[in-house]
Amino acid sequence: MTIPLPGKGNAGSSGRNQGTHNKAFIKKTVLQTPQRPPLKQGSELAKWDADKEADLTLAIHRYLLYDVNPPEGFNLRRDVYIRIASLIKTLSKSEAWVLVLPPWGRLYHWQSPAIHQVQIPWFEFFDVPSLNKNIPVIEYEQFLAESGGPFIEQIYVLQNYAEGWKEGTWEEKIDERPCIDQPTYSVDKHKYYRGWFWGYEETRGLKLACLSVQGSASIIAPLLLNTSSRSVMLDRAENLLHDHYAGKDYWDTRRSMVFAKHLRVVGDLFRARYLNSTDEKDRTQYNEDWTRMKVKLGTAIGGPYLGVHLRRRDFVWGHRSDVPSLRGTVEKITSLMKLQKLKRVFVATDAVADEIEELEGLLPGMVRFEPSQEEVELYKDGGVAIIDQWICAHARYFIGTSVSTFSFRIHEEREILGFDPKTTYNRFCGDEERTCEQPTHWKIVY
């Protein structure tokens, strides 16, 4: 099913509970970084350096950039953002830092052909003013404009410790070490570091070092406060853990990650047209200002449909024991629809065409959001995924896929909307799975 295009708005894993860190936490090593190559008079970098010095009185904040291991998906990257936001909050207690939002693109699961999906700014998917109510953020192209050129002064590639860690002897630590893997950067003839940089080929790094890290995000704060670099990039930022997983700081950041309004409008129109679902009837009234939204769990009842996230493809062979067959899936869906007295089921899935056809034949009440080519070009694969999540988040009852971050993000969205946890934290079980542990309820904290 497709719906008419609305006008597109203009934008505006588990972790360890660790406290704020100070300089005493950097042990063993005083980090030394190679010096920038000498500047030739009149060179592009020399001009950038002079412009930067002239601008210091106007812009005194420093910039933190980050990237994630390329194979990681959209929803894991959203989790890494929460970790880095905690780091920004720690840094901001001492200095003015701004987080530069890493442009989206080149993700494994975004496989729509003939669509340019690189250098995508965050406002395409999220409401940036809402993010700014939690921490100071800017888009990458704003960073380019403010900093005076496509240069990142210091790149730190984060990695684990080569020797690993012994069970029962966990400690938080950070050390400059030789790179375990060959960094995905090359050095050009001007001694600048070239890399992916979110598809911005003109971007260059001036210095690069590898850091072995073991701990929560804020363990790296003392290092950043001691460096003289105004712009610092943390590559492989997924190696940092949460400062306070599922605590108030976590939920503040998660609540600030409001979906872009034009995507929510698409989802709402679809709900109303095909699922007889509106915020008024479903008791899912939404406040555009997340800081003013505090809903008691159990308030929302949701639309008269079952929400399903069914992960297939790589999960079929990668998680065989806890992913059901299609027949097992249909049996569970049919049972839930009967139990919840629902006639419609909305399915968000990455299943191949043959599997979808089989599901539709076995589930007469099945509904999917099927975007046209024009809609995919407009919203991109990431936007279509958000629309799916938004519709699932408003269902009377939701069931997802084991260990899927796509399902985890729906859990959180429903928690924010005020659903009874019993209608949210549910997953499919494998056909032969004897112990089918259901997802943990991480209660929202205000």
Active site residues per annotation: 72
The dihedral of CA 312, 363, 112, 266: what is its sign? negative
Instruction: State the Cα–Cα distance between residues 405 and 76, nearest whole angstrom.
Output: 6
CA-nearest of 143, 116, 126 to 61 is 143
12: amino acid identity, one letter: G
H or E stretch at 86 = helix 74-91
CB 262 within 8 A of CB 8: yes
Instruction: Please tell me what DSSP assigns to residue 69.
Output: -
Torsion region of 215: left, alpha or beta (phi above 0 gives left; psi -120 to 50 gives alpha): left
Residue 422 burial (CB count, 10 A): 11
CB 345 within 8 A of CB 363: yes
> Collapsing DSSP states into helix, strand and coil, what is residue 305?
strand
> How are beta strands 193-194 and 303-310 bridged, if at all?
unpaired
Residue 122 burial (CB count, 10 A): 21
Beta-carbon contacts of 347 under 8 Å, excluding residues fewer than 6 positions away, are: 308, 310, 359, 363, 366, 367, 368
> How are beta strands 173-176 and 204-214 bridged, if at all?
antiparallel
Secondary structure (H, E, C), 185-228 = CEECCCCCEECCHHHCCCCEEEEEEEEEEECEHHHHHHHHHHCC
Instruction: State the Cα–Cα distance between residues 446 and 443, nearest whole angstrom.
Output: 10
Instruction: State the Cα–Cα distance between residues 312 and 134, nearest whole angstrom.
Output: 35
Cα 222 to chain centroid distance, Å, stands at: 25
| DSSP code string of 217-285 | GGGGHHHHHH---SEEEEESGGGSBPSSTTSHHHHHHHHH-PBPHHHHHHHHHHHHHHS---HHHHT--
CB 186 within 8 A of CB 193: yes
| Phi and psi at residue 271, to the nearest 5° | -55, -45
